[in-house]
Structure 1
């Protein structure tokens, strides 16, 4: 693409005062900004009866002169053409890219946002940085030959730039690229009866999920995730795809899907695709890192309420971290079917071997390990959280065993399950937050994965002073990585804390027993599709 590929830390962005913005002419590439996507802006995987014309794809720019410079190509632009800087800047002092290159078949805007993705977005929108970052090595070459994927990449890139610079022009461009991606996907779906849904279109759907996470959506992203799952199934699973694309989409899907089960268990559909790609030792994924087993355990914890009517199964499951709800006829007493070991207690980042991506430094791996340890603490905290909600909602019910050979079981109180969890809740919270306080929380992207551990710690901490640590840390993540879902996590914590404080003031003094407000109560009350990925 450039004479010399620009590394992720290339210093080509600088602070400067914004020039006076010029009004765009009617012939500008972008039409008038469309409204932000609403709750009905999603992919309909059922083809419509009529064809859908894609919103203006990459227009071929007129030939321009260019000169070779050290870092790439620099176009000689017409004086009347609005530069990306004019379009994207609305306040001074923001970090804005200076276009360094020109590619003949891309518009100025596409070159601008593609370069931002190359140099900044691809590094900050992953949980692992390496020379082999697929957000660059896979997406960019494919986008160069796929107008649909280019629109999806530019949508995510422009939105991320808007989050970090508060640029209205970049935000409007993101909305337009998003709309163009949706229209292009509808057109591609219309051809599914005669053609195989292509890998590049699947990658574009995956980027729509990513777009909603970056935007901080609470309505659309589950629809995109469910659509991605059904489309992969219709293709024959990951095994039917190009290996590089399959590995990238598998990591993105597993990460988002497991996080969806944790915070939106009632909204996400069951996965029908096999996430095991049967490719031997897996590569350390840019989203999952060392946390795949921990994410699976937390997702299983989310299913514990389905066992609330079977005390014995619930007790064994809490002790073993193995969910039997998918096996209703399972003989819990059979000697050949003992429960698993305490998975959270014995977990180690070395439990599963991984292929380390090229160019991954030892310091990066250390950060990944520390983040994974925070996820383990979060797993203990989450387990306590779910069990407390079960006990709160079903405090004095005599439970019946699913087996007709067993007598009715006694109520399952806090005193029954609390000793089964090896790590007390407040110890797990303290350990997680104490570890986070030792992190610089700078722009090393491994830290961007800490949203869930910080959120669940803030929800379950009984120490009011911890709120400052949680909010301060989430604020650093929001400022350094520009991902909108962090803002949503902070908003929900604010609502939760306010409700709990109000309840404590109204009922605590007079000794009235009141159910403790749970964070899932707030999620359900708001109707949010909360995403903590």
Structure 2
């Protein structure tokens, strides 16, 4: 092999020469490195990508894989001296000590492995849209709806002295877009801005948590791999910071910023569309609130924000993850007074409580009288509910149109409550059909249907008809419709209804970039395929036991998020 000449000779006509401009380097952004193009290395986004209308994926490592939805973030090894039991994750009656709570120590000492994936083969299910869904790692599925690739990423408007360029970038995105799209109510007093941003400016821990959620949301909406990598790094940094705070905490009051950071970890998993991790964070938040002495012991602004987040997530979790949560008495102290209309709950707080009561009905399946009394009481509560039942302080800047949207969304939740009540009782009847027939001498279906005043199909049709009148644009109030759409899709066998559900969920996913909507769609695809297969396997007039959507959730081992 000949050596390179010491003197530079003119290139031959057949040789390719690099165009004039900035030389290609290994330190350029990920987008330019993949394209092997020149990069001017402007941070946080290079100008070359922006000029060409491309998404700059930042300057992270090309080899770091973002979190999969079922990635095991925490180690779950039990202490040798304490065998693992089902009751080990339940809320104890006495207020636990933060420093001695073994459950909390397990959470706070977990090892972060954000790029873990299962190496075994996972079952794949065919969805009605023709794509395939990997049940264990849904993020590996094909055929997902492409989110907007034209997201307007705000250009940095300056530099804050004590923040890095990336922190400034993601904080600005959160301020201008994320905080509006990640709430169910937009107003001048949106606490995702008015509370979190000022506190994050003086709390490195909370800043990492805010940036983790912001970067992940940006990645969902722009498919930016650099933002995904940044989200994983900020997420890991938040966990590390929380472990440090909890490890050094022995006496006194746990800081509000630590409590808010744990709340944002719950939010992170909802945005990610996790199916394996969010219950860990929600249980941790519950324990910390109890250890702190309840919401009344916190600053009022922080307490109101965390209360809304916790109540919304907790009550929705009871619907799809009933066996993983214990009842809680956490509430706002009466001295706080009339609450603000919450950015997550809106007018639905009483309806969420009713749905949580429905989730507990299976515990009464062996006590027919108590079961039927509870069904009758729940039915009455749904019938008499109005959005004015509870007084609220209306946040500053909330428009009349916003309140109307909140009211209509709440009406969808009421119809979803009726549908969910039918769904739960049908499952109870199928599970205990033989036992009930022996004990009462009649079919369970003959006993309870008259207790529910609104037929299931009427509730579904009313909910979906209302949704079809909505524009389902980026008004954030519509982002709360995931549960009403999901339960309507599960309980209707009408193909037209299914099309309305999927079309509406597509719009929510496109407009708001929240990963749990994608998971709800994937579970619906699996469920419909299974139910249709069961129907096809039965001849005309043959009795069949239809699979229930909760059966699929339990079979897959998912911690489904419908919040």
| Fold in common (TM above 0.5) | yes
Structure 2: distance between partners of 1:312 and 1:20: 61
Alignment of 1:45-194 (within 5 A): 46-47=104-105, 93-194=150-251
In structure 2, the CA distance between the partners of 1:269 and 1:471, relative to structure 1 (3 Å rule), is: same
Alignment of 1:392-407 (within 5 A): 392-398=430-436
Structure 1: distance between partners of 2:297 and 2:551: 41
Contact 1:459–1:493 (Cα < 8 Å) also in 2:
yes
Which 5+ residue runs of structure 2 have no aligned equivalent?
1-48, 77-101, 113-146
Q: Select between 96-105 and 471-480 the one with higher mean Cα deviation.
A: 96-105
Q: Does 1:438 align with 2:469?
A: yes
Contact 2:184–2:477 (Cα < 8 Å) also in 1:
yes
Alignment of 1:376-415 (within 5 A): 376-398=414-436, 413-415=444-446
Match of 1:248 among 293, 305, 316: 305
Contact 1:442–1:480 (Cα < 8 Å) also in 2:
yes
Match of 1:475 among 491, 506, 509: 506
Contact 1:391–1:414 (Cα < 8 Å) also in 2:
yes
Contact 1:33–1:176 (Cα < 8 Å) also in 2:
no
Residue 233 of structure 1 and its aligned partner are, at CA, apart by 0.8
Structure 1: distance between partners of 2:56 and 2:511: 26
Match of 2:74 among 22, 35, 41: 41
Match of 2:397 among 359, 372, 378: 359
Residue 50 of structure 1 and its aligned partner are, at CA, apart by 11
Structure 2: distance between partners of 1:49 and 1:521: 28
For 2:258, the equivalent position in structure 1 comes to 201
For 2:549, the equivalent position in structure 1 comes to 519
In the alignment of these two chains, the number of paired residues is 454
Residue 20 of structure 1 and its aligned partner are, at CA, apart by 8.9
For 1:83, the equivalent position in structure 2 comes to none
Structure 1: distance between partners of 2:476 and 2:72: 30
Contact 2:307–2:331 (Cα < 8 Å) also in 1:
no
For 1:320, the equivalent position in structure 2 comes to 377
For 2:319, the equivalent position in structure 1 comes to 262
Structure 1: distance between partners of 2:373 and 2:392: 31
CA RMSD of aligned residues (A): 2.7
Q: Does 1:529 align with 2:562?
A: no
In structure 2, the CA distance between the partners of 1:316 and 1:142, relative to structure 1 (3 Å rule), is: same
Contact 1:42–1:182 (Cα < 8 Å) also in 2:
no
In structure 2, the CA distance between the partners of 1:319 and 1:105, relative to structure 1 (3 Å rule), is: same
Structure 2: distance between partners of 1:51 and 1:305: 35
Q: Pick the structure with more helix per residue.
A: 2
Q: Does 1:455 align with 2:486?
A: yes
Structure 1: distance between partners of 2:323 and 2:289: 22
In structure 2, the CA distance between the partners of 1:494 and 1:234, relative to structure 1 (3 Å rule), is: same
For 1:273, the equivalent position in structure 2 comes to 330
Structure 1: distance between partners of 2:52 and 2:167: 23
For 1:491, the equivalent position in structure 2 comes to 522
In structure 2, the CA distance between the partners of 1:265 and 1:20, relative to structure 1 (3 Å rule), is: closer
Structure 2: distance between partners of 1:50 and 1:292: 31
Contact 1:311–1:412 (Cα < 8 Å) also in 2:
no
Which 5+ residue runs of structure 1 have no aligned equivalent?
1-13, 55-89, 322-340, 401-407
Residue 313 of structure 1 and its aligned partner are, at CA, apart by 1.0
Residue 498 of structure 1 and its aligned partner are, at CA, apart by 0.5
Contact 1:164–1:482 (Cα < 8 Å) also in 2:
yes
* CA deviation vs aligned residue, 1:347-379 (integer Å, no higher than 9, x gap): 100111110000000000000000000000000
In structure 2, the CA distance between the partners of 1:21 and 1:292, relative to structure 1 (3 Å rule), is: closer
Relative to the length of structure 2, the TM-score reads 0.76
In structure 2, the CA distance between the partners of 1:22 and 1:151, relative to structure 1 (3 Å rule), is: closer
Structure 1: distance between partners of 2:471 and 2:62: 42
